[in-house]
Structure 1
């Protein structure tokens, strides 16, 4: 069992720059990937997206990669022809205006087009370091999700145990309720029979009423649902949606038991059982 909640952060250096990777994993009905990359890594987005979708089955993933502190100097080109042209024009303007101000080189270098920097490119070594860091972050987040999922699994197992125990108590109590109902109906039948009521018709009505009060089928199905629930939990893979659906089926059986029973003791057990089901459903919403 794996939770959808996880977090990991890493900082690392390459031969070109330093970078940080932050990965957050949150609850979601589906797998959603939100990737924020610096300009130099934009071409890597599709591959990174593919890696995330391969490693995660469900959840909202937020990945942020930042690049800073460049170590290697970017190549610089000097447009000498343009620089000379600027210089001649400024010298001519200085003579025309009859100023004594010298045209300094530092002022010429900041003029548009004089200094040209080549675009930064990602080296093969830096790319390898980046993806190694990404995989390490993913491993950490997955480990956290599995650890939290294991804790969630223990809590769910405890709730399933409580539901099973309540079902056993309800079954034991239902036997006493059925017997009490039988004696009550028998007394009424005998009284009505003495007054000349058609016995065949009377017994038919009693059988229908007794069937409406019987909760044995619901208890059997409830037990089957609990067994299936545990089987899914140990099956591996994505199970959150299956477990949530099975919770609805369990809740339906418990509701039917509540509607059929007239016992206050059974009603109290039903309330506790519904509380346990709500706990499980809440936890299943965070399960992959």
Structure 2
């Protein structure tokens, strides 16, 4: 599900700002953008975030800058640039390089224009991590709101499918007798010689039974009920709901293939369309 979270905190003379965004995705994919000086902590941050999220394409951006320079995201790291120029001078002297150092050469060093974070200790990093997780919590709150809306939509579709199944059952009860009589009349038209009535009745009953969709309707309604139960009561139900959708689709296909009337075929097409819409939505549920 989609979501957005933002948090900020002042930590030992620095402003820490965190933005978290999520897009729909079947699996969990984390993209974390950190200042150069904090990249060695990425694994620890990644593992902490994983405990809050199970699915989605997540983008987290962390900005840390001195309060004195908080009006810009570009910094002049004099200490780092002096170190870079010192190395350039050594290399030029040792290998007799005549070329002058230009500004574009400095652009290859990201930390030359990143704030120095030497005032941040391990304890301060714990505060930064809390700021990140606070942003993720806000993201989860927004996702929960979307989840409530999604649940309501799915339940409405389940009710719609249930009504369509009941319509199919009623149509089948009305059609099966007429179908049997139609078969019987057709046999008498084709066969000119006397036939064993009892044998004919048995064969026609077997033909009619092959078109019986009662069991399929019962199973489909059972799947619908199970889907609703899982949706309302279980956490991290996405994968299970997806499997139930597959079973519902299978029963709807069988109903269509055994159908004896166009009305039932049309209803089964509608049901399969609704199941497909549900299945697409289920991909967004953790």
User: What TM-score comes out, normalization by structure 1 length?
Assistant: 0.76
1:227 offset after TM fit, Å?
1.0
Match of 1:172 in 2: 170
How far apart in 2 are the matches of 1:125 and 1:285?
39
SS at match of 2:29: strand
SS at match of 2:234: coil
- The 3 A distance-change label for structure 1 pair 119 and 177 is closer
Rg comparison, structure with higher value: 1
1:140-166 CA-partner distances (Å, limit 9, x unpaired): 011111110110000000000000001
SS at match of 2:58: strand
Residue pairs, 1:172-211, within 5 angstroms = 172-188=170-186, 195-199=193-197, 201-211=199-209
Match of 2:22 in 1: 25
1:163-221 CA-partner distances (Å, limit 9, x unpaired): 00010111011001111112223444666788323446534431331121111011011
- The 3 A distance-change label for structure 1 pair 43 and 71 is farther
SS at match of 2:51: helix
How far apart in 1 are the matches of 2:223 and 2:195?
44
Conserved? CA contact 2:179–2:260, under 8 Å: no
How far apart in 2 are the matches of 1:279 and 1:187?
42
Q: Does 1:39 align with 2:14?
A: no
How far apart in 1 are the matches of 2:137 and 2:227?
28
1:36 offset after TM fit, Å?
1.5
Q: Cα RMSD between the aligned structures?
A: 2.6
Conserved? CA contact 1:26–1:60, under 8 Å: yes
How far apart in 1 are the matches of 2:20 and 2:166?
46
1:48-98 CA-partner distances (Å, limit 9, x unpaired): 1111111111122221111112559x9x8xxxxxxxxxxxxxxxxxxxxxx
| Residue 228 of structure 1, aligned match among 226, 229, 236 | 226
Match of 1:248 in 2: 246
How far apart in 1 are the matches of 2:140 and 2:234?
14
| Residue 126 of structure 1, aligned match among 124, 127, 131 | 124
User: What TM-score comes out, normalization by structure 2 length?
Assistant: 0.76
How far apart in 2 are the matches of 1:258 and 1:28?
32
Q: Does 1:153 align with 2:151?
A: yes
How far apart in 2 are the matches of 1:212 and 1:23?
56
How far apart in 2 are the matches of 1:263 and 1:193?
25
1:248 offset after TM fit, Å?
1.8
How far apart in 1 are the matches of 2:275 and 2:117?
59
Q: Where do 5+ consecutive residues of structure 1 fail to align?
A: 77-117
Conserved? CA contact 1:15–1:125, under 8 Å: no
Match of 1:114 in 2: none
How far apart in 2 are the matches of 1:52 and 1:239?
20
Q: Does 1:66 align with 2:63?
A: yes
SS at match of 1:270: helix
Matched residue count = 243
How far apart in 1 are the matches of 2:187 and 2:126?
87
| Residue 52 of structure 1, aligned match among 12, 36, 49 | 49
Conserved? CA contact 1:40–1:122, under 8 Å: no
